[in-house]
Amino acid sequence: MIHLAPRIQESLIQAGQQAYPLEACGFLLGARQGQDLDIRALIPGSAKSLNGYSLTAEELWAAERKAFKASLTVLGFYHSHPDGEAQPSELDHAEALPGYLYAIIAIKGEEPPKIGFFQFDEATGSLTSL
Count other C-beta atoms under 10 Å from residue 99's C-beta. 10
- Looking at residues 23-43, what average pLDDT do you find? 95
Answer yes or no: is 120 within a domain. no
Q: Is the per-residue pLDDT at 127 higher than 70? A: yes
Answer yes or no: is 51 within a domain. yes
- Looking at residues 18-39, what average pLDDT do you find? 94
In angstroms, the CA 13 to CA 57 distance is 25
pLDDT at 109: 84
Q: Is the per-residue pLDDT at 21 higher than 70? A: yes
**Could you give the percent of the chain with pLDDT greater than 70?**
96
pLDDT at 19: 92
Query: What residues make up the domain containing 26?
Result: 2-114
Answer yes or no: is 11 within a domain. yes
Answer yes or no: is 124 within a domain. no
pLDDT at 53: 79
Answer yes or no: is 40 within a domain. yes
Q: Domain tally for the chain?
A: 1
In angstroms, the CA 55 to CA 73 distance is 17
pLDDT class for 55, splitting at 50, 70, 90? confident
Q: Are 53 and 23 in contact (CB under 8 A)?
A: yes
- Looking at residues 5-25, what average pLDDT do you find? 94
pLDDT at 47: 67
Indicate which CATH number applies to the domain containing 62.
3.40.140.10
**Smallest Cα–Cα separation from 64: which of 75, 73, 77, 54?**
73
